Amino acid sequence: MLYPTPLIKISSLSEITGCEIYGKAEFLNVGGSVKDRAAHGIIEQAEKDGLLKPGGTIVEGTAGNTGIGLATIAAQKGYKCLIVMPNNQAAEKYQTLNALGVELVTVPPCPFADQNHFYHTARRLAEERGAFWANQFENTANFQSHYKTTGPEIWEQTHGKVDAFVAASGTGGTIAGVSRYLKEKNPQVHVRLVDPMGSGLYSYVTSGEIKSTGTSITEGIGIMRLTANFKEAKIDDAVQVNDTDMISMLYHLAQKDGLLVGTSAALNVFAAYKYAQEHQDKGLTIVTVLCDSALRYASKVFNPVFLTEKSLTPYKL
């Protein structure tokens, strides 16, 4: 079951910019991330469609958070769960999935065109076992869940006074569902996509061509194709944020606001901050998503050796 998550004012950045910057505290979902919403919507729809029956098995390929969301619900409902992940994600994700009792398969990272990619591996395993494949990227129950829950919550919590929504995209579910809902309520709400380096969505939104440069340590966001969920998004513009800016925001939020957020959340907040700077002292209400907790990546983002290896030195905002 999903419960509304609070909208937290990010006081330090709001004071600097003269805008009201808020983060949707999705790390407070039971599974610890925004992906609980996709997992809930996908499972609920599969049950309605008769694709998932008592005692059945859920299979998914994921960077981790959707798998954790699915596994959490599976444990509650008595389903089995098989999760396929790249083998380069934060150790905390594997530990959490093991604690939830899933069958975990890890594969080397590779391009999507490679049939050993975690997405294709999950599809094959689901077919071989006659299990339900969640298919979060193409299953539009994902974005529909955000349209039904996240969007309305943001609208109600801002009393209909939201001026801009800023978010990154992995499957596209969050930005699609929220943008469609908010723009139906008010077409003037500005929607900005934030993309990490190494992803092709920034280029697609700004030039119509999917291409990328650079790399990122962020997990679960950024992609080099258009998913069925992303195609439903109503996006006005896009920005790129590099890892140095992202990690600097992550430490800023910890030290100035007492918010321990993960890498995608820090990316989102940095982009929201930049949007606010562009509209300095206009008193806009800007909302973004705090996707998960920094504690899910502590072995990386709080590890000086890892940061040094990645040439990441946080700076003061």
Burial environment of residue 18 by CB neighbours within 10 A (0 to 12, 13 to 18, 19 or more): middle
**Active-site residue identified among 35, 93, 183, 300:** 35
Structure tokens at 34: 């925004």
Q: What is the DSSP letter of 171?
A: S
CB contact at 8 A, 202 and 238: yes
Distances (CA, A) of 60 to 121, 126, 160: 9, 8, 36
Catalytic residue flag (residue 35): yes
Cross-strand partners of 317:
none
Question: Which pair of structure tokens corresponds to residue 301?
Answer: 């983002």
Residues near 159 by beta carbon (within 8 Å), at least 6 away in sequence:
none
Cβ contact 43:58 at 8 Å:
yes
3-state secondary structure of 191: strand
- 102 contacts 131 by C-beta, under 8 angstroms: no
Residue 83 to residue 62: CA distance in whole angstroms: 7
Report the greatest alpha carbon distance in the chain.
Answer: 58
Name the residues annotated as catalytic. 35
